[in-house]
Structure 1
């Protein structure tokens, strides 16, 4: 059974002291932030130049730092990229690169889709840094279960493949299966179904953010940065698919710390890990339907909060259904449209940590405008990264003037 979690606030510390503007500081235009903002919007230099009314060479000069945009031009850049002008005068941002992010379908993504997702990751790093300077979050407890120098290919086929018969075999599933069992044992989960994947990940120190990118090619991605694990989930997908994505990215985090998280072999391992982690062998053997039909799978998928397709895969991987039954069900799933939608879908999971952070801010009377001002990022941008929690949690909070900092405020996440 998963533990409940709550925030506690140390005596004598408040959040009122964290908002401050240092008027004596002079900030220079930061070209790296212009590059970040442009890539976040999935724009090429030529497109931005056209919208701003300058040449492509000028945009290149701005991003190279050899020329600063004039005031009017900067205002147009701010409007085109939907970032406040103040955003372009901040410190150097960290921009994740494709070699450290575990993009599932990197070959299928366009460069602009990849850049937009990585740009969202860069903004999330800024947001997480801001949050961690004010709150104490769980330390990472994500063990390294991989093998240095590469991963066992295991004979897996990408789960986006249109060839259903290529799902993991019993023999090839042993390595990811063992890793999933080891992690469950390490976290004390036993064989119980996982009620909330995001809550579980956050309780183990994984920073989880949402990607509001309406593109099927952008599933999810994960990465390690500054010793912290991050997972980004595309919320345009069904709740069941998001849970599988979260478990898939967890597989990358624990199995592939010593390898660039790319390539079909590593994707197959992460798929197999996710399947075993969400649907433990003993649990499935105990609760699997006696007769595997489409209707019985729809009923039984509730036990593990997974998609019908994922349960079909798992039953076949464990030898509980024949090849003929498995393929027949795959055809029926496709005919029913259950590869793009999910029958009797569950509600989407959201971040518990971020919800509590925003609730704490609201208790202190801070509005979404206050937070956005401190980060120099528009509220909508932050909202897209936080499962829509920011605007809901901070709606109605009063705007107030910044105050001097006397001491750092902390909220600590502890077991209750």
Structure 2
């Protein structure tokens, strides 16, 4: 009989990820709710038969429940829309973060990822001018001028930042990020985006989380809790100045007299018309009367929730992790099956985090031999 060392928290993770209560899992595996609670806290150790039933019900690989915790997240997790993010969504994000940390640590054993190149600051309470200057300095550090950024996801990945999209409800949580530190791996930010959002919203989420990593990655969890309202405002301001530099906005704002002009700027800058309008107003690039008139028109048209032109801006997809696992397979370092077995994750979720099709982790079908008659 195969032996295993149970990690009790893994049972809770699997249950939460599948959206089950302790009672519903208990019913499914024919034990009491109290037994499930004791399994998850380590008070009671389930036998291998029960673990097998749990794995089947949750549709997780059995080895997941004995997988050691090797990459503990010690730094704060920056949630966009933190006040409206439910506890359940935060728990799901934490699970995804743990999985991505495992994927990253695993890949680094075989692949040299781009080194992190990110200037950071260590304070709280920035002025608008300071944030504008910091956003400009990050652009210059990465060799950018003041023009539009064609592919923000690619820019961040090229500078050593990990990005992944997860299948969570974007209405309650836009994105989150964490500065990952663990022995044996290079320190780097990880940004998690939600699926089902427009391209301009994903770009804004990326820029917002980049702001946290530039301005606030020095914080510990206590400092984060103390200043969370302030740092959200600062990250949002950074996103505006990074995507739409102040000098460029001053040059182009003279033409902003209508919503049509905002839509033209949206197509050029890859940002929502609403965010452009608020940025122009906050930076004193347009008059207060113009801003008020355009805001009123924008609200009347219902653009706060659904703007025209979103469909014309292409989605930016993370490629770095996808490229890394593909290189491993193409160079016969590992097969897709071996990678999934080493990661001990559900195949659908591993594929989503790595940005590959689920078939990537399935066995390669052997071609039937070609037969010929003997002449």
Q: TM-score, normalised by structure 1?
A: 0.77
1:222 Cα shift? 0.8
Superposition pairs for residues 250-399 of structure 1, below 5 Å?
A: 250-259=210-219, 260-262=223-225, 263-288=228-253, 290-345=255-310, 346-364=313-331, 368-386=336-354, 389-391=355-357, 394=360, 398=364
Picking from 178, 185, 207, the partner of 2:133 is 178
Instruction: Please say if residues 9 and 40 of structure 2, whose CA atoms lie closer than 8 Å, have aligned partners that are also in contact.
Output: yes
Q: Report the counterpart of residue 412 of structure 1 in structure 2.
A: none
Picking from 164, 171, 177, the partner of 1:209 is 164
Q: Structure 2: how far apart are the matches of 1:328 and 1:393? A: 52
1:103 Cα shift? 1.1
Q: Which runs of 5+ in 1 are unaligned?
A: 1-24, 155-171, 401-416
The alpha-carbon distance between structure 1 residues 64 and 321, as it changes in their structure 2 partners (threshold 3 A), is same
The alpha-carbon distance between structure 1 residues 50 and 321, as it changes in their structure 2 partners (threshold 3 A), is farther
Q: Report the counterpart of residue 233 of structure 1 in structure 2.
A: 193
Instruction: Please say if residues 161 and 189 of structure 2, whose CA atoms lie closer than 8 Å, have aligned partners that are also in contact.
Output: yes
Q: Structure 1: how far apart are the matches of 2:288 and 2:25? A: 52
SS in 1 for 2:117: coil
Q: Structure 2: how far apart are the matches of 1:55 and 1:229? A: 41
Q: Report the counterpart of residue 48 of structure 1 in structure 2.
A: 25
Q: Report the counterpart of residue 413 of structure 1 in structure 2.
A: none
Q: Structure 2: how far apart are the matches of 1:280 and 1:330? A: 21
Q: Report the counterpart of residue 98 of structure 2 in structure 1.
A: 122
1:270 Cα shift? 0.3
Q: TM-score, normalised by structure 2?
A: 0.85
Q: Structure 2: how far apart are the matches of 1:37 and 1:95? A: 17
SS in 1 for 2:147: coil
Moved more, 51-60 or 293-302: 51-60
Return the structure number with greater relative CO, CA threshold 8 A, min gap 6: 1
SS in 2 for 1:390: coil
The alpha-carbon distance between structure 1 residues 115 and 51, as it changes in their structure 2 partners (threshold 3 A), is farther
Instruction: Please say if residues 206 and 231 of structure 1, whose CA atoms lie closer than 8 Å, have aligned partners that are also in contact.
Output: yes
| 2:12 is the alignment partner of 1:28 | no
- Count of equivalent residues: 352
SS in 1 for 2:146: coil
SS in 2 for 1:233: strand
CA RMSD of aligned residues (A): 2.6
Deviations, residues 135-182 of structure 1 (Å, cap 9, x unaligned): 1101222222231xxx11x6xxxxxxxxxxxxxxxxx52121121112
Picking from 30, 38, 46, the partner of 1:61 is 38
